[in-house]
């Protein structure tokens, strides 16, 4: 049994999957957070949040690394940690710095910082010759306008340090570019109260099918677990509307996608990590969209587990402990698994979700999660807008996505307009 330090977490699925992996691995953990109420607000009524299964819950200044490190060092002397882990992008570099300070396994802080900053990722990959879009890192809207003239419309405008597709926009002209830059400037802090970098990332708009490559790297050896097919909508935003594992790719596209993802991870120096690398398969070949040095979100890890038996949350725990993860494939009875997300058509208050009860007992359904009535709903402009999801599997082949799309077609959110 090992004792891990968990430094913050998301409040979504990984906040449940990571504690499950720790428990099933026979481990216990201390949870470190600056704001426990952030997690309590996300727990259903009369339900203990999984993060509260921690052996200890410690309040600490997780947003101030220099103040945090001496406190963690004292905690380590008293409690003795065997590994450090987080599922939240905003604290991945912090976890790496803590592991290095305590002499525990983990990726280098520099690699994590470069992977978590989209502008740094672009620079590192470009220097290594890993294919991506043409890009420019801009200090303000005037620099972005100059970059747009050089790269050419349409473009993608991104924050360099946000997650879940927040404030990522396609822009087709200077007016849209000005609005996108203004939206970034009006959002100076992220959801965890951390001050954001003011830089603007302007990129060439890539046309092509999007996939993600799920990998585990341990001791310098990278293992490809598989490739996930992605659906993206919500233009001009980029909202992930669904995923299927494994992706239905030709052997050539599979080789190209996985090879590009491995080159990206190597260029960034990622080791002892589970990674989720997003790739666009363009007419000119694969291009890196972004590299995420943590297990995939949106329950992609569960799609992988349902099809292969591989638990990527458990693998994340193993590599944090310096152990070889169990990546053996098992016969689960499924050939594919897919998830589709329920999105609002506009803003208002959720009154009900019609058709939800009918899909729960449908053939092949693995999960159904639906938001409760009374929730305030905004127009879908990021992955934070979901009103629920349906997950289903296919035992015969790659039909899981079609099955999920058919089920979603019978479900309709009913909103009371504000």
Domain 208-332 superfamily per CATH: ATP-grasp fold, B domain (3.30.470.20)
| DSSP-derived pairing of the beta strands 83-85 and 3-7 | parallel
* The total number of residues written for the chain in this structure: 418
Q: What is the DSSP letter of 89?
A: G
Q: Are 293 and 300 in contact (CB under 8 A)?
A: no
pLDDT digits (tens, 9 = 90+) for 351-377: 889 998 889 989 999 999 998 888 888
Label residue 384 exposed, middle or buried (CB < 10 Å: 0-12, 13-18, 19+). Answer: middle
Instruction: Please give the Cα distance from 90 to 292 (Å, whole number).
Output: 11
The structure's pTM equals 0.95
Q: Are 131 and 118 in contact (CB under 8 A)?
A: no
Q: Tell me the CATH architecture of domain 133-204.
A: 2-Layer Sandwich (3.30)
Residue % of the chain over a pLDDT of 70: 98
Inform me whether the pLDDT recorded for 45 exceeds 60: no
Q: Select from 3.10.20.30, 3.40.190.10, 3.30.470.20, 3.40.605.10 the CATH code of 335-418.
A: 3.30.470.20
User: Where do the domains of the chain lie?
Assistant: 3-104, 133-204, 208-332, 335-418
Q: How confident is the model at residue 44 (pLDDT cuts 50, 70, 90)?
A: low
3-state secondary structure of 292: strand
Paired with 271 in beta bridges are: none
Question: Listing from the earlier edge strand, what are the strands of the sheet with 200-204?
Answer: 135-138, 200-204, 155-159, 169-171
Q: How confident is the model at residue 39 (pLDDT cuts 50, 70, 90)?
A: confident
Q: What is the DSSP letter of 323?
A: -
Does the fold of domain 208-332 match that of domain 3-104? no
Structure tokens at 244: 């299927």
Inform me whether the pLDDT recorded for 275 exceeds 80: yes
Q: Are 119 and 199 in contact (CB under 8 A)?
A: yes
Number of C-beta neighbours around residue 1 at 10 A: 7
The CATH class given to the 3-104 domain equals: alpha beta
Residue at token pair 């070949």: 285
Q: What is the DSSP letter of 91?
A: G
pLDDT digits (tens, 9 = 90+) for 196-223: 999 999 999 999 999 999 999 999 999 9
3-state secondary structure of 407: helix
Q: What angle do CA 107, 113, 118 make, to 5 degrees?
A: 130
3-state secondary structure of 253: helix
Read off the pLDDT of each residue in 84-105 and give the average, rounded to a whole number. Answer: 97
Paired with 391 in beta bridges are: 339, 367
Residue at token pair 């303000």: 140
């Amino acid at each position: 049994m090992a004792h891990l330090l968990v430094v913050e977490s998301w409040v979504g699925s990984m906040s449940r999957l990571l504690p499950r992996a720790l428990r099933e691995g026979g481990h216990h953990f201390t949870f470190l957070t600056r704001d426990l109420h952030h997690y309590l607000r996300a727990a259903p009524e009369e339900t203990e949040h999984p993060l509260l299964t921690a052996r200890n819950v410690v309040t600490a200044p997780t947003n101030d690394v220099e103040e945090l490190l001496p406190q963690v060092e004292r905690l380590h002397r008293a409690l003795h940690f065997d590994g450090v882990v987080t599922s939240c992008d905003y604290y991945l570099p912090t976890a790496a710095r803590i592991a290095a300070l305590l002499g525990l396994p983990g990726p280098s802080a520099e690699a994590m910082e470069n992977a978590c900053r989209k502008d740094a990722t672009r620079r590192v990959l470009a220097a290594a010759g890993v294919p991506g879009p043409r890009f420019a890192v801009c200090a303000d809207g005037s620099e972005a306008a100059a970059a747009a003239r050089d790269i050419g419309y349409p473009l993608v405008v991104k924050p360099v340090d946000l997650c879940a597709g927040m404030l990522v926009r396609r822009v087709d002209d200077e007016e849209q570019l000005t609005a996108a830059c203004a939206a970034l400037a009006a959002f100076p802090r992220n959801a965890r109260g951390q001050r954001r970098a003011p830089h603007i990332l302007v990129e060439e708009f890539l046309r092509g099918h999007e996939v993600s490559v799920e990998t585990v790297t341990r001791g310098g050896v990278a293992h490809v677990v598989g490739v996930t097919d992605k659906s993206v909508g919500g233009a001009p935003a980029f909202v992930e509307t669904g995923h299927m594992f494994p992706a239905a790719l030709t052997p050539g596209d599979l080789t190209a996608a996985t090879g590009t993802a491995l080159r990206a991870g190597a260029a960034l120096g990622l080791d002892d990590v589970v990674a989720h690398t997003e790739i666009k398969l363009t007419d000119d070949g694969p291009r890196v969209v972004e590299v995420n040095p943590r297990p995939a979100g949106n329950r992609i890890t569960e799609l992988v587990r349902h099809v292969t038996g591989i638990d990527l949350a458990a693998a994340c725990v193993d590599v944090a402990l310096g152990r070889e993860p169990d990546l053996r494939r098992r016969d689960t009875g499924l050939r594919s698994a897919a998830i589709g997300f329920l999105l609002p058509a506009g803003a208002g208050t959720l009154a009900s979700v019609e058709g939800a009860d009918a899909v729960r007992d449908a053939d092949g359904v693995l999960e159904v999660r639906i938001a409760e009535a009374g929730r305030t709903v905004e127009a879908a402009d990021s992955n934070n807008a979901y009103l629920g999801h349906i997950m289903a599997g296919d035992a015969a082949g790659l039909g899981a996505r079609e099955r999920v799309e058919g089920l979603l077609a019978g479900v309709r959110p009913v909103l009371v307009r504000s």
